[in-house]
Amino acid sequence: MHFLAGRCADVLSSLLGFGGGTFSSSPRGSLCTRRGKNILKTIALGQMLSLCICGTAITSQYLAEKYKVNTPMLQSFINYCLLFLFYTMILAFQSGSDNLLSILKRKWWKYILLGLADVEANYLIVKAYQYTTLTSVQLLDCFGIPVLMALSWFILYARYRVIHFIAVAVCLLGVGTMVGADILAGREDNSGSDVLIGDILVLLGASLYAVSNVCEEYVVKKLSRQEFLGMVGLFGTIVSGIQLLIVEYKDIAGIQWDWKIALLFAAFALCMFCLYSFMPLVIKVTSATSVNLGILTADLYSLFFGLFLFGYKVSK
């Protein structure tokens, strides 16, 4: 684990442009010390985000696998409602150009597209738990990293080093290997087509998450965290509410509610709300790419939970 933390620090250091060197009492040493503390703080925040992601994964898997509750849109809708009640209301009471109505007059159509991408990303990822396993979803969502880097290159004018492109190649190789392993494992229990559908849903969802993350980085760094979360809360609630009525009203009516199912919904919403609230803070001091690299440890956490809670076995 110490090695893993060290490698995360190295990755973040290179992304942020921090070089190596020894610490000393000189001004340069003090600067390196401050930078080192910022890197450690970023890693700590990244692990908190990873735990939130792991929490959403576990609750979604429990709902889909143990209780046969397949309502990904309802799960997302609750989160967007929380964002709306908290952050959109903050914008409503702001003054000047930061006011909700002022923002809507100038950029309403942009935030509709952002809300649509974010809603569908959440829907596809949670939907995938009906077809494939917790570990597969969490490992395959790393496909969003190369998509995010490509979008950042063209939209945010980010530039990368050779090592970053090597990492992308390894990431894509891992995605291909994981899909192949899922298909082979699915053939053994005659669920190969369902597993493939789940993997495709994850890849599509990860791509849409990349779009949302790039937009988030731009808004958070150029404008404000409250504006991003408030607009996502507003249009996410509208889009997910409409889609909820269209595609899931029968599934919702068929839920046999009890305190365990209600608790799982509440836990999912809380983890998602914390994830959305804290991610802009980390993105503001680093980048969307750095955050997505930092939260890859969510895959490790999900693997452990999958082994112990759901009895998954590692393919040989």
Q: What is the pLDDT of residue 111?
A: 94
In the predicted model, what is the mean pLDDT of residues 194-212?
87
Which residue has better confidence, 315 or 88?
Answer: 88
DSSP for residue 244: H
Residue type, 282: V
- The domain limits of the chain are 66-310
Q: Name the residue type at position 211.
A: V
pLDDT at 37 over 90: no
Query: Which residues make Cβ contacts (< 8 Å) with residue 44, sequence separation at least 6?
Result: none
3-state per-residue secondary structure call for 94-131? CCHHHCHHHHHHHHHHHHHHHHHHHHHHHHHHHHHCCC
What letters, b where the CB count within 10 A reaches 16 and e where it falls short, cover 229-245? bbbbbbbbbbbbeebbe
pLDDT tens digits, one per residue of 149-180: 888 888 877 777 787 677 677 766 766 666 66
Coil/strand/helix, residue 93 = coil
Confidence bin at 119 (pLDDT 50/70/90): very high
What was the pLDDT predicted at 307?
56
DSSP assignment of 114-180 equals: HHHHHHHHHHHHHHHTTTS-HHHHHHHGGGHHHHHHHHHHHHS-----HHHHHHHHHHHHHHHHHHH
Q: Are 156 and 214 within 8 A, CB to CB?
A: yes
Q: Which residue in this structure is represented by tokens 């914390």?
A: 274
Name the 3-class secondary structure at 287.
coil
C-alpha span between 308 and 148 (Å, rounded):
32
In the prediction, which pLDDT does 103 show? 93
Report pLDDT for 313.
Answer: 53
**Maximum CA extent, the chain:** 67
Query: Cα dihedral angle (255, 258, 261, 265), rounded to 10 degrees?
Result: 90
Q: What is the pLDDT of residues 135-147, one digit of tens each?
A: 677 667 777 878 8
The mean pLDDT value of the chain amounts to 77
Has residue 193 got a pLDDT over 50? yes
**Are 255 and 7 contacting, i.e. CB atoms less than 8 angstroms apart?**
no
